[in-house]
Amino acid sequence: IVLQKSNIFSIGDIQYPYPIFAVTGLVSWQLFSIGLASTTESLVNSADLVLKINISRKAIVIASMGRALIGFAIQAAILIFLFLFYGFHPTPYIFLFPLMALPIFLLALSLGLVLSLLNCIMRDIAMGLSFLMTVLLLLTPILYAAPETGWIAWITRYNLLYHLIELPRELALTGSASNAQGYCVSVVLACLIFVETLKLFHLAEHRITEKI
């Protein structure tokens, strides 16, 4: 808000209290970002377990998503508090929020499966991931309204994360879905990416984890 008043950053036209708008988007964003960070480092952090015990590598990566689920629950609790504080009544679609977050969970896990293997070979991946996530957050209209023109608007049109985060937020706050097609396409793509990365992980897990 300070940046907006200084004309450095514009959040656009928000019809409801900004903290509610921001946190409703951050609930899903944190599920993705924390999940991706946790899964990327999961195999390296469990190197002793992987080398000494014949344990499923997939199970280790999937289990690391538990940290993201805890973060999701905490953010959801904060959101409930904001609803009460501002006296804002969300639509009944708010109860579908956890279900509609499933594609984001799958997308984070999909990318995490690949990055966890690459991180066994190139440890710099985990180090640079934080910076990349910050850039992605700035390019994804989560903390600000999606622009209608400009290069960010063009990027937003093809940004899976934006569609997966924006439609659940829009349904929860307004009850409308202005871009249901974009959300459905993004859900299908997230599921396809998950299937393909799971196959890739299965083929490469034993060879690559030997390099830990």
**Which pLDDT belongs to residue 44?**
86
pLDDT in tens, 64-75: 999 999 999 999
pLDDT in tens, 146-170: 888 888 888 889 999 999 999 999 9
pLDDT score of 2 more than 60: no
How many other CB atoms sit within 10 Å of the CB of residue 150? 9
User: 212 pLDDT band (50/70/90 cuts)?
Assistant: low
Rounded distance between C-alpha atoms, residue 114 and residue 107, angstroms:
11
Kindly state the average pLDDT of the residues 126-144.
88
Tell me the percentage of the chain whose pLDDT exceeds 90. Answer: 59
Kindly state the average pLDDT of the residues 32-49.
90
User: 7 pLDDT band (50/70/90 cuts)?
Assistant: very low
Rounded distance between C-alpha atoms, residue 100 and residue 180, angstroms:
12
Confirm if 122 and 41 have CB atoms less than 8 A apart: no
Rounded distance between C-alpha atoms, residue 61 and residue 57, angstroms:
6
pLDDT in tens, 87-114: 999 999 999 999 999 999 999 999 999 9
pLDDT in tens, 191-210: 999 999 999 998 887 777 66
Confirm if 90 and 41 have CB atoms less than 8 A apart: no
pTM: 0.88
**Which pLDDT belongs to residue 211?**
67
